[in-house]
Structure 1
Amino acid sequence: MPELQIDKAGFLLDGQPFRFLSGGLHYFRVHPDQWRDRLRKARLMGLNTVETYVPWNLHQPRPDRFVLDGGLDLPRFLELAAAEGLYVLLRPGPYICAEWEGGGLPSWLLTEPDIRLRSRDPRFLAAVDDFFDRLLTPLRPHLASRGGPVLAVQVENEYGAYGDDTAYLEHIADSLRRCGVDVPLFTCDQPVDLERGSLPGVLATANFGSRSARHLADLRAQRPEGPLMTTEFWLGWFDRWGARHVVRDPDDAARELDEALAAGASVNLYMFHGGTNFGFTNGANDKHTYRPTVTSYDYDAPLDEAGDPTPKYTAFRDAIAKHAPLPAGPVPAPGAKLTVPTVALTESAGLLPCADALAEPVDSRRPLTMEELEQDFGFVLYETTLPLRGPALLEIEHVRDRAQVFVDGQPVGVLERENHEHALAFTAPRAGSVLSILVENQGRVNYGQGIHDRKGLLGTVLVDGVAPTAWTNRPLPLTALEAVPFSATTSTPVGPAFHRGTFEVTEPADTFLHLDGWTKGNAWVNGFPLGRYWSRGPQRSLYVPAPVLRSGTNELVVLELHAGPRARTVDFRATPDLGPTEE
């Protein structure tokens, strides 16, 4: 069985000098039927290891429920990595950042109004210990000490950018050990945060994407002995709605990689293959202004979102070849792609009229948060009755994150957290009009103190200075759409609506859904949640993995929150559109 050791000079594997040539590959961002393909391409680029985070919020969606199958079958992913001859760096958090919803922390933690995440708050530590026990018990056979591929396990994640409580880190490390982790542990931080986030007796690694020699020298100055390692060598970046698609010159990134390898460092590429924030799983940042992340996690990586090698794949392969032998064989060819033009969505159903079919109403004296409704993702529909007709002013203390406002089903405006909007004027046509507020969780904040990010309508809600005291709350996670009462129609419903159509496929292959003329919403193919689209860009297409398609008739459902094109058609094309670029 392989044994990783850390000595004064560096890593040893079974007593021989070893260097990590690793790449990030998040199993939860890739369809499980495509794991084997992505792992094979990692090995063919010259990598000997893959790295993955573990999303606590998906594995433990409720305190009493744990999921470790299907797209979350981490043991199978580890087995496939081992079969491909790859080792694994495991990063179980509990916090992972990763531009992932809430940094991977489950939303149910936030039902405690004063909980302190990533701290020694006993409630948080008890939840972490329970998560580690549920996760790591079935993973023990996959540790290198037991013949598996997992060579090392990370303690927390970039904690130095958040806090400096060494006792908290010690608890996380002790919890990992109590759960049977007997392989080396490591921490990772940006160089400026290294001391705050490190732990005595645990390997400290640095994260950076440029000035490799300088950052490695800084790491060596702080750690005179032991391996040099960058756990996140940033070779691209993520995108946010309303900005440009971020790319990085392949040759520039390859030069930095060569420089790090020439210095003798171990490197984990972040990301080797980014994948996709399917469904509602994207995170957000909030540095005084809320900025949600897009659906694609292409990351300008060596493998693009569809798993095809990019110019960066070849450039990195050439850089690695200077320092380690490459596997035999050429660069893998791009996969087959599918084109289906002009798919008509001929059936529709308004969201507000069918809300009762989608969710049981919950009555309350004030709007309830998503967390109080035991809801992780999606929307909440809030409704109350207006006592008087005429002009009115709606004031909401905290909109989390985007509220569409309706009076008797007619749209009267939108309030966006991103734009710091809190008030909206409208006119009630009659006494007894229904005020409806559809609130979208656009992604919980995944970085910094903003991770305490509860969703829905928070704080005081006033209409003409008075707080309504009779509300109906309908949680709409949209995990299943079978109850939507579709009907054939040539007219477009007012307000948010579901639209459905079918299309024929002879042989399934990867493709990209293009929604030209549509405004904002979500899409599903055969019930699989592709993610969010938004005309503000930069992303203007959604990746459709081949395994979600089937030979014959396929179903597409689009939830359009505003107004789609009059013809209500979409295209499936062979190429993506991630928007105008920014280097």
Structure 2
Amino acid sequence: MKYLVVMLVLICVCVMKATAQEKQTFSIGNGSFLVNNEPVVIKAAEIHYPRIPEPYWEHRIQMCKALGMNTICIYIFWNLHEQRLDQFDFSGNKDIVKFCRLAQKHGMYVIVRPGPYVCAEWEMGGLPWWLLKKKDVKVRTMDPYFIERVGKFMNAVGKQLAGLQINRGGNVIMVQVENEYGAYATDKTYVSTIRDMVRNAGFTDVPLFQCDWNSTFKKNGLDDLLWTLNFGTGANIDNQFKELKKERPDSPLMCSEFWSGWFDHWGRKHETRAAKTMVQGIKDMLDRDISFSLYMAHGGTTFGHWGGANNPAYSAMCSSYDYDAPISEAGWVTDKFHQLRTLLSNYLKPGESLPAIPESYPVIEVPEIHFTQAAPLFTNLPKSRQSADIQPMEQFDQGWGSILYRTTLPASIKGGVIKITEVHDWALVFADGKLLARLDRRHREFTTKLPPLKEGTRLDILVEAMGRVNFGWSIHDRKGITEKVEIIENGIPTALSNWEVYSFPVDYSFVCSMKYRKSEVQTMPAYYKATFNLDKVGDTFFDMSTWGKGMVWVNGHAIGRFWEIGPQQTLYMPGCWLRKGKNEIIVLDLKGPREASVRGLEKPILDMLRKNTPETHRKEGQNLNLTGEKVVMHGRFTQGNGWQEIKFPFPVEGRYFCLEGLSSFDEKTVAAIAELDVLGADGLPVSRDAWSVVYADSEETDKGNFTADKVFDLQESTFWRTVEKPDFPHQIIIDLGEKQTVTGFKCLPRAERGVPGQIKEYRVYVKIDNFKF
């Protein structure tokens, strides 16, 4: 009887808990979000489950809770879960249900952002590579094949997470439809279709929303969705929401991505953003009852091959996604963390307090590991496939890694040039095993001179695929060699054919199957293997500064890419993936190491840039001479934030566009521009894909990464900024890549209050030939 009473009590308790959970609601009220009909300000922390080892998920969620957040915001990465067609995987580090349940365990709501496109500096913005096997596919459009595949993916996500909506006992309070689509296209039919797919997948009980920039949110805004805005630290909060408040005066306001820092590119300076500026921006929003999601609260690591790229100009992302976030890559507290925690503690309800900050995981040093075994790539060739013509990697059913194209010269040549259309993304060119050139897509290096070569010479082109572009139309980014290879001799091109093709994927099962033998450092591309023993485990940072370019696997885990140019020189090694006793490490180095050794450090090296190319776009002693040049437009901007469009009185033909700033509104010496568009014959912006900066009179690189190429990187929160001296005038010259009919231009100043560095008076020059220096 006593046992029966206890059981009945337990059952009643469970029923009461279930009933309590069923009463949870989340809704949109008049000017505020409501939980159980009570107003709430969403304080969300964006973190990404695949950028955190699964054993560390709970720790990072607790860190966000201790920071003062009440919500976790997550993308769902389609290409992570469907790496092969119709093969969905939500296990292990992809177990999104477990991740959301852990957040619920610690009293955190969840905002789900399933895309299908997510950006996130992630390979192809989260879209699967195999979409590109269809040669005419148009992603993020009403392309029937793309829409069909999105539907299947969204249904798979719904089966995982629809049951976790808050009114069903879970903690999911909102779901996003697409992602910053206004920066990609204007197509309400497409956005409406994605909205319907999200609902059909089961997300019917919580609000759906769409996010964009304040310059693009009207393009695709749907009446039945909540509208939110994305912007970065330092932005003028009132100006950001000005137009949205006019359109939706009764809607709650939310910054769905408040960028706490920025991401790092290979070959560019390490990015940081001031803690004081970030904290002030959040205070400004809280004082106005504006909800926010901090992107990123904790960036983590883009393990393996998953890093994306920007274009134009092509620039791949580093493996570290530290993002200068409040919680560091390894889960440590930072000065930003403490400053933000102090701020958020002032916005608690009576009787509330922030939980204690969790202890960080232990960190260890690992003594130097020497590699004595190697497997040269060219003596470990997999089975080849034949192809009459050049085709990209995807047509050989390969998603990531490196690919080798091999043929023989059909006739002798006395010299000339080899032209590759195009290298995606980094290539080594060999003739009979001798290295002729390294070609880098970042610098549009698609040709190289050839020495005299005999008929039958074996030509090898080894191409490494870096990250697929994750933003803009360039996400249709096929890898390997995308079109053709030609020998140009005496001005006559001859296309090469009859290729043997070898694929080198990134799978651990492939790299561990190489034939490793005792060997010294190789001068050719090679895999290296070693073992090391540990008495204890802990997080560490493998120092790759003596190596060239490649990827690392430890105990079967692909921990990331390395590249000697930096700025990242170490790879974060989570202690949960190490083990006491024997451990294995494999390194693929395509360029070749100076020393084949690795050691584990207690701190990362994320800001050591080593490259031979200049940081700025002005050669030493170079001075622009505009004497006698025809001024196309002489005018004055309007003071304030936001895009401004200038129409020329008449069209002008030209390839080189020069904007000269003559003065600034703040009457200081610095000029700054966030984005620049050149308008073509149809009055619309011309493609930026082939743009390059020819000249900028001044670029600030000591206090930040404010180079002139920021004016066409498609990122409104980055900008070109000149140094404090010299004074005006300041000039920037852009090569448009080909002759255009130019009818005007658009200019976006910085987003901060007061618009620092905004040019007031300007002149514009357009020429067919380059300017004089």
Instruction: Give your verdict on TM over 0.5.
Output: yes
1:486 aligns with 2:510: no
Which residue in the other structure is 1:362 paired with?
385
Contact 2:542 2:598 in 1 (8 A): yes
Counterpart CA distance in 1 for 2:325 and 2:167 is 32
1:113 aligns with 2:143: no
Corresponding residue to 1:222 among 247, 261, 280: 247
> Residue 482 of structure 1: CA displacement?
2.1
Which residue in the other structure is 2:427 paired with?
403
**Equivalent runs, 1:248-287 vs 2, <5 Å:** 248-287=273-312
Q: Which amino acid aligns with 1:354?
A: N
Q: Which amino acid aligns with 1:343?
A: I
Tell which deviates more after alignment, 339-348 or 462-471. Answer: 462-471
Give unpaired runs (5+ residues) of structure 1.
Answer: none
Q: Which amino acid aligns with 1:562?
A: K
Q: Which amino acid aligns with 1:34?
A: Y
Corresponding residue to 1:81 among 90, 99, 103: 103
Q: CA 1:517 to 1:533, structure 2 compared with 1: closer, same or farther past 3 Å?
A: same
Per-residue deviation, residues 156-187 of structure 1 (Å, max 9, x unmatched): 00011111111111110111111111111001
Contact 1:57 1:104 in 2 (8 A): yes
1:335 aligns with 2:364: no
Which residue in the other structure is 2:603 paired with?
575
1:562 aligns with 2:591: yes
Contact 2:304 2:559 in 1 (8 A): yes
Contact 1:4 1:13 in 2 (8 A): yes
Which residue in the other structure is 2:84 paired with?
62
Corresponding residue to 2:66 among 44, 47, 53: 44
Q: CA 1:329 to 1:86, structure 2 compared with 1: closer, same or farther past 3 Å?
A: closer
Structure 1 SS opposite 2:228:
strand
Counterpart CA distance in 1 for 2:355 and 2:30 is 36
Counterpart CA distance in 2 for 1:151 and 1:373 is 42
Contact 1:255 1:319 in 2 (8 A): no
Counterpart CA distance in 1 for 2:379 and 2:546 is 24
Counterpart CA distance in 1 for 2:282 and 2:534 is 42
Which residue in the other structure is 1:474 paired with?
502
**Equivalent runs, 1:338-487 vs 2, <5 Å:** 338-356=364-382, 360-389=383-412, 391=415, 393-427=417-451, 430-464=454-488, 465-480=493-508, 481-487=511-517
Corresponding residue to 2:529 among 496, 500, 509: 500
Counterpart CA distance in 1 for 2:74 and 2:319 is 19
Contact 1:242 1:537 in 2 (8 A): yes
> Residue 410 of structure 1: CA displacement?
2.2
1:537 aligns with 2:601: no
Q: Which amino acid aligns with 1:3?
A: T
Contact 1:246 1:582 in 2 (8 A): no
Corresponding residue to 1:172 among 194, 206, 221: 194
> Residue 542 of structure 1: CA displacement?
0.6
Counterpart CA distance in 2 for 1:537 and 1:216 is 38
1:211 aligns with 2:236: yes
Counterpart CA distance in 1 for 2:341 and 2:262 is 20
Counterpart CA distance in 2 for 1:318 and 1:218 is 32
Structure 2 SS opposite 1:123:
helix
Corresponding residue to 2:266 among 218, 234, 241: 241
Counterpart CA distance in 2 for 1:545 and 1:218 is 45
Counterpart CA distance in 1 for 2:247 and 2:428 is 51
1:104 aligns with 2:126: yes
> Residue 333 of structure 1: CA displacement?
3.8
Q: Which amino acid aligns with 1:548?
A: W
Structure 1 SS opposite 2:219:
helix
Q: Which amino acid aligns with 2:309?
A: A
How many matched pairs?
577
1:143 aligns with 2:168: no
> Residue 330 of structure 1: CA displacement?
3.7
Tell which deviates more after alignment, 416-425 or 216-225. Answer: 216-225
Contact 2:345 2:353 in 1 (8 A): no
Structure 1 SS opposite 2:65:
helix
Counterpart CA distance in 2 for 1:116 and 1:411 is 37
Structure 1 SS opposite 2:58:
helix
Structure 2 SS opposite 1:246:
coil
- Aligned Cα root-mean-square deviation (Å): 1.6
> Residue 478 of structure 1: CA displacement?
2.1
Contact 2:62 2:358 in 1 (8 A): no
Contact 1:161 1:197 in 2 (8 A): no
Per-residue deviation, residues 359-401 of structure 1 (Å, max 9, x unmatched): x311110122121122221111111112345535321121111
Contact 2:411 2:455 in 1 (8 A): yes
Per-residue deviation, residues 270-301 of structure 1 (Å, max 9, x unmatched): 001101111111111112x1111111100001
Which residue in the other structure is 1:310 paired with?
334
Q: Which amino acid aligns with 1:364?
A: S
Q: Which amino acid aligns with 1:302?
A: P
Structure 2 SS opposite 1:257:
helix
> Residue 153 of structure 1: CA displacement?
0.3
Contact 2:264 2:318 in 1 (8 A): yes
Contact 2:305 2:506 in 1 (8 A): no
Tell which deviates more after alignment, 60-69 or 301-310. Answer: 60-69
Per-residue deviation, residues 537-570 of structure 1 (Å, max 9, x unmatched): 11111101111101111111111111212x4211
Contact 2:65 2:355 in 1 (8 A): no
Tell which deviates more after alignment, 33-42 or 411-420. Answer: 411-420
> Residue 429 of structure 1: CA displacement?
5.8
- Identity score, percent: 37
Give the number of the structure with larger relative contact order, counting CA–CA contacts within 8 Å between residues 6 or more apart. 1
Which residue in the other structure is 1:197 paired with?
220
Which residue in the other structure is 1:126 paired with?
148
> Residue 528 of structure 1: CA displacement?
0.8
Tell which deviates more after alignment, 392-401 or 264-273. Answer: 392-401
Q: CA 1:62 to 1:428, structure 2 compared with 1: closer, same or farther past 3 Å?
A: farther
Q: CA 1:505 to 1:582, structure 2 compared with 1: closer, same or farther past 3 Å?
A: farther
Per-residue deviation, residues 297-329 of structure 1 (Å, max 9, x unmatched): 000011100011111111111111122256444
Counterpart CA distance in 1 for 2:243 and 2:262 is 23
TM-score when normalising by structure 2: 0.73
Contact 1:314 1:331 in 2 (8 A): no
Contact 1:158 1:197 in 2 (8 A): no
Contact 1:213 1:263 in 2 (8 A): no
Counterpart CA distance in 1 for 2:179 and 2:81 is 18
> Residue 430 of structure 1: CA displacement?
4.6
> Residue 138 of structure 1: CA displacement?
2.5
Q: CA 1:127 to 1:199, structure 2 compared with 1: closer, same or farther past 3 Å?
A: same
Counterpart CA distance in 1 for 2:220 and 2:297 is 25
Contact 2:67 2:354 in 1 (8 A): no
Structure 1 SS opposite 2:151:
helix
1:186 aligns with 2:214: no
Per-residue deviation, residues 500-521 of structure 1 (Å, max 9, x unmatched): 1122112211110102222211
Which residue in the other structure is 2:343 paired with?
319
Counterpart CA distance in 2 for 1:89 and 1:293 is 26
Tell which deviates more after alignment, 34-43 or 319-328. Answer: 319-328
Corresponding residue to 1:231 among 256, 271, 274: 256
